[in-house]
Amino acid sequence: MKFIVARQNPVTVLPTDLEPTDAELAALEAEMSVVSAEVELLDALIALLDRPASEFDARRIRRAHNRVLSARRDLANWQGPKEAA
């Protein structure tokens, strides 16, 4: 059996610790509310692909859209973690 291996060194050397920093994890956590709200809106819109919208569906979409706007506003106003001095 022949093994296929690279004969060249990698172009860029990767750092040994590829774990995200605390600031990166905090930013991801802050963005999760926007992602969750957008998924909820998408679920509401997908439910209407095969049937006409009722009053209940319109209310569900309106509320989901408002949650997306609120989550985006909160993310835009988010200050991030404070660094220790």
C-alpha triplet 53, 55, 61: angle, nearest 5° = 70
Is residue 78 very low, low, confident or very high in pLDDT (cuts 50, 70, 90)? confident
Could you tell me where the DSSP H helices lie in the chain? 22-47, 55-77
Span 49-74, pLDDT tens digits = 999 989 999 999 999 999 999 999 99
Which of 43, 42, 30 minimizes the C-alpha distance to 71? 30
How high is the pLDDT of residue 5? Answer: 66
Span 4-37, pLDDT tens digits = 666 666 667 666 678 888 888 988 999 999 999 9
How high is the pLDDT of residue 23? Answer: 86
Which of 66, 64, 74 minimizes the C-alpha distance to 33? 74
How high is the pLDDT of residue 18? Answer: 80
